[in-house]
Amino acid sequence: MIGLVNVAFAFQRRYFKGELSAVPAEMAAAAAEACPPAERLMPKKG
C-alpha cells in the first residue's frame, strides 16, 4: 500500500508539477464546517 502511495506521488510530481494552488478562504471555511474534528462526533466518556 505504501508503495502505491509513493507511485501516486511520483506521478503527481511528474505530470502536475506547479499546478497546485491555494484554497480560497471560503472553501476552507465550508470544508471545516462540513467536516468537524473527530472529537465532536464522538461523545466524551466519563
Each residue of 6-36: pLDDT tens digit? 999 898 888 887 766 788 889 888 888 888 7
Locus of grid cell 471560503: 26
Cell of 18: 506547479
pTM of the model: 0.37
What is the Cα–Cα distance from 46 to 31, expressed in whole angstroms? 30
Domain count, the chain: 1
Domain span at residue 25 reads 2-37
Check residue 21 and give its pLDDT.
Answer: 73
- Among 11, 30, 27, smallest CA distance to 19 is for 11
- Among 22, 26, 6, smallest CA distance to 14 is for 6
Q: Is residue 44 one of the residues assigned to a domain?
A: no
What is the Cα–Cα distance from 32 to 23, expressed in whole angstroms? 12
Q: Is residue 27 one of the residues assigned to a domain?
A: yes
Each residue of 32-42: pLDDT tens digit? 888 876 665 56
